[in-house]
Amino acid sequence: MKIGVLGLQGAVREHVRSLSRLGVDTLIVKRVEQLDEVSALILPGGESTAISLIGGETFLKRLRELAKGGFPFFGTCAGMILLASEIEGRAEPYVGAIDITVARNASGRQVHSFETTLKVEGVGDDVPAVFIRAPYITRLGDGVDALAEYQGHVVMARERNVLVSSFHPELTDDLRIHEYFLNIVEKRNQEDLK
């Protein structure tokens, strides 16, 4: 199993470091053909518009194709915006891999960044979470499970093989959310072998 981390912008090294601590083979994905070398892809935080512009339409088109085939994705912060099927104030989604609506920068400006502890379904009651200009989920599709909330806002969700969070688990030393995603990828790989 090799996990890709989209290396166009954002907290790339931090995700790679978390995966390395778990003994996972990783690849920083900067070219569309590298997507064929990985079992899953993490889309890190950063600036969603910038990431989409740097990657270009060819990259987004390939990500959409992968999403339709059930490819595992994990999007944090801006990565969640890229994966959402609907973004408030934007006519079209980027990838549309998970049936949610998101509000960008819903937690406030950079100066309003904060850390807290969350109860995350299937992970634990004491998961550290770093919020930086975080988007919030404002709508969940029928097949989407809310995994964590903060002050009444959904901040983590899952639909089949797609996991998203408003916050940055890679900016903490807690590896449980990355482990949760790896379990999703492992189950998908086992299904592919059947």
pTM of the model as a whole: 0.93
Catalytic annotation, pick one of 170, 178, 179, 186: 170
pLDDT digits (tens, 9 = 90+) for 87-144: 999 889 999 999 999 998 666 555 558 899 999 999 999 999 999 888 999 999 999 9
Q: What is the mean pLDDT of residues 47-56?
A: 68
Structure tokens at 100: 């949610």
DSSP 108: -
Integer Cα distance of 103 and 114 in angstroms: 18
Catalytic annotation, pick one of 168, 178, 179, 191: 168
Backbone angles phi, psi at 83, to 5 degrees: -85, -20
Backbone angles phi, psi at 58, to 5 degrees: -60, -45
pLDDT in the model for residue 194: 65
Active site residue 121: no
Specify whether the CB–CB gap between 9 and 53 falls below 8 A: no
Active site residue 179: no
Measured distance between the N- and C-terminal CA atoms of the chain, rounded to whole angstroms: 16
Q: How many CB atoms lie within 10 A of CB 101?
A: 16
Specify whether the CB–CB gap between 5 and 26 falls below 8 A: yes
* Beta strands 73-76 and 162-165, pairing class: parallel
Q: What is the mean pLDDT of residues 43-61?
A: 77
Q: Which amino acid is at 118?
A: L
Q: How many CB atoms lie within 10 A of CB 120?
A: 22
Integer Cα distance of 5 and 30 in angstroms: 9
pLDDT in the model for residue 53: 67
Active site residue 170: yes
Q: Which CATH number fits domain 2-193: 1.10.220.110, 3.40.50.720, 3.30.70.1350, 3.40.50.880?
A: 3.40.50.880
22 Cβ neighbours under 8 A, 6+ residues apart: 175, 178, 179, 182
Query: 140 has which bridge partners?
Result: 100
Catalytic annotation, pick one of 77, 121, 159, 178: 77
Q: Which long-range contacts (CB under 8 A, 24 or more apart) does 86-91 make?
A: 86/139, 88/138
For the chain, the farthest-separated pair of C-alpha atoms sits apart, in whole angstroms, at: 49
Average pLDDT, the chain: 91
For residue 150, pLDDT over 70 is answered with yes
Q: Where are the domains of the chain?
A: 2-193
